[in-house]
Structure 1
Amino acid sequence: MRSVVSALAVILSLLLTGVAVPMAWTNQNVVREDGFVALTAPLGKDQAFQSRLAAAAVGSLESKVDLPGPAEQVGASLFKNAATSMTTWPEYPQAWSDTVRQSHRLNFGGAAVAGQANASTSLVLDVGPLTALVAKRLASTTGIPVTPPDSVPINIGGPTQRQQVDSVAAYAPLWWVPALGAVLLFALALLLARRRGAVVLFAGLGLAALAGLWEALSTIAKGAGDAGLGGTAAGALFVKQLMAAAVSDFSSWIATAAVAGGVLAVLGVLILILTPKARRPAR
């Protein structure tokens, strides 16, 4: 009975680990603002994606600005330049970081931002900071005050995706609950086991198998991103690039889990070899 309970405890511990690790990664890199900014940093260097965002930001401002005759030609030239080379401006990296932070707050801010940029019903990428950058350049060049719009949302997901994000924001921070359960169950398995080396070996092999499962699921998730889920061309490209960045980042966690599983498996074998079997009492 002790062996059966010990085996069940290891299995349950592995199942909880399979849930806790992705939850912890999601909380650190998606739900937390600083983690999300770091995760999306490579997107700021993707020229194709950034060119689409620049065009969207310029188009939004250009349609709302009415310059007087003498400044109209200067403004048109600046808009054209911004749409093609804004990513080379020295202020651009900070504007992109502000864009990511503002978008994160809209999508994960909950009731505090509900109703802003349709945040309560959809997912958006708010390129308002990029538009503000163009407006600042335009005002500096023409000497005419330009007031940019507060928000320039680009749709990257509908109500279904919004509900999924709300669920992630609510449950990912609770990753420690299954993690604690996994640790306690593993400790129980070791306590009850007749041969602790077998428990450690089984746990190591199971963790390595989990790493393989996570790798397969990551590939499926990346395929979903490649299919394009955004509501606009720029939104679809953002989702695709974000998913690729997420899969790449999570792969380091998968590698760590695989190595840890291998170490546990080797340790379990060593324990089995070095620990003498208990002798049955003579009848």
Structure 2
Amino acid sequence: MRFVLTALLWIVTTVLLAVAVPAAWAQQNVVDVDGYARLAQNAAADPAVQDAMAAELTSQLVNLASNSGYDTRTELLSAAATGYTRSAAFPGQFATVNRIAHRWMFTDVVQQSDSSGRWVVDLSPMLADSSFQQTLQDYGITAPSSLEVPLTDRASESLRPGQLRQVGRWGPWVSVAATILTGVFALLTLAAARSRGKALAALGVSALMVGAAGWAGLEIGRRYVSNALNNTSGDVRRLADALVGHAIGSLHQYLNLTLAAGGGLVALGVLAAVLGSLRRKSV
């Protein structure tokens, strides 16, 4: 009976850990606006992100210059945009733009949609950067107070203002509750087991299973993310791909820590079991 209780507690602990790890990552890097902005700011150091953003800004600058009646040289505008995305100012402003996008998805306070219902983001803070001002003035361009760029080719029911509002409300509670419950059931597993060493090793196996399953799940889930990104195109698609890659890399770090903790617990559990066995034999 004690073995059955221990096994049941171990299974519950494993399931809770499988919820707690991705929930903790999501809360820190997606749900929390500061964490998401941090993730975006770190991603801004990636040349793939910089190049995609520079290409999108160049397209917008060419349109602005054409509307102003000037004969533009695309290569000059491209050089200005590339110089900006390579500058120290870009990561912080890229994070600011992503804060706006985050509020659009997690609240319904900021309405960032065009007349067609497409998700748009305002890039005007980037055009206000000093590295652009001289170039814009040379072409007689006045930086607009708002420059909304659609992130999707068409309106999508899955991308609406406040679509993730409930996630933002309950995400922190789920993350904290899952973490606390994982710890509680891990302690209960240790308390119910006849051999603390074996129970500790079993908990280590749980962490190894969760880490390995997480890696496998990400590989499978990435296909679905790619399908979802098919609603975007061009430079926005390149930018989204790069950001998703950084998000996956961040989650990989959490899974690697889980695997490392699992390996450590298995080693400690085996050591504790061996020492316990030797102690019993010596008595």
Question: Which residue number in structure 2 is paired with residue 150 of structure 1?
Answer: 146
Percent of residue pairs identical? 23
**TM-score normalized by the length of structure 1:** 0.79
Question: Which residue number in structure 2 is paired with residue 256 of structure 1?
Answer: 257
RMSD, aligned α-carbons: 3.2
Question: Which residue number in structure 1 is paired with residue 190 of structure 2?
Answer: 190
User: Which SS does the other structure have where 1:111 is aligned?
Assistant: coil
Task: Determine if the alignment matches structure 1 residue 116 to structure 2 residue 119.
Answer: no
Correspondences of 1:1-283 after superposition (within 5 Å): 1-40=1-40, 41-43=42-44, 45-46=47-48, 47-59=50-62, 61-62=64-65, 65-66=67-68, 72-73=70-71, 76-77=72-73, 81-89=76-84, 90=87, 91-108=89-106, 110-113=107-110, 115-117=111-113, 123-133=119-129, 136-137=133-134, 140-141=137-138, 146-156=142-152, 158-162=156-160, 165-174=164-173, 175-227=175-227, 228-276=229-277
Q: Taking structure 1 as reference, are residues 12 and 56 closer, same or farther at Cα in structure 2, changes over 3 Å only?
A: farther
Unmatched runs of 5 consecutive residues or more in structure 1: none
**TM-score normalized by the length of structure 2:** 0.79
Aligned mates of 1:60, 1:34 — CA distance in 2: 33
Contact 1:128–1:149 (CA under 8 A) maintained in structure 2 = yes
Q: Taking structure 1 as reference, are residues 32 and 17 closer, same or farther at Cα in structure 2, changes over 3 Å only?
A: same
Contact 1:204–1:265 (CA under 8 A) maintained in structure 2 = yes
For residue 2 of structure 2, what is the amino acid of its counterpart? R
Aligned mates of 1:31, 1:59 — CA distance in 2: 35
For residue 81 of structure 2, what is the amino acid of its counterpart? M
User: Which SS does the other structure have where 1:35 is aligned?
Assistant: helix
Show CA shifts across 1:69-118 (max 9, x none).
xxx35xx34x652234412134544443332233223233x0321x3335
Q: Taking structure 1 as reference, are residues 226 and 48 closer, same or farther at Cα in structure 2, changes over 3 Å only?
A: farther
Contact 2:120–2:148 (CA under 8 A) maintained in structure 1 = no
Show CA shifts across 1:131-157 (max 9, x none).
444874456446x68250424132248
Aligned mates of 1:88, 1:135 — CA distance in 2: 9
User: Which SS does the other structure have where 2:230 is aligned?
Assistant: coil
Show CA shifts across 1:211-252 (max 9, x none).
000001111233334443343323322221121111111111
For residue 17 of structure 1, what is the amino acid of its counterpart? L
Contact 2:56–2:236 (CA under 8 A) maintained in structure 1 = no
Aligned mates of 1:247, 1:32 — CA distance in 2: 17
Contact 1:202–1:265 (CA under 8 A) maintained in structure 2 = yes
For residue 116 of structure 1, what is the amino acid of its counterpart? Q
Aligned mates of 2:114, 2:31 — CA distance in 1: 19
Contact 1:201–1:269 (CA under 8 A) maintained in structure 2 = yes
How far apart are 1:207 and its partner, in Å? 0.8
Q: Taking structure 1 as reference, are residues 200 and 122 closer, same or farther at Cα in structure 2, changes over 3 Å only?
A: farther
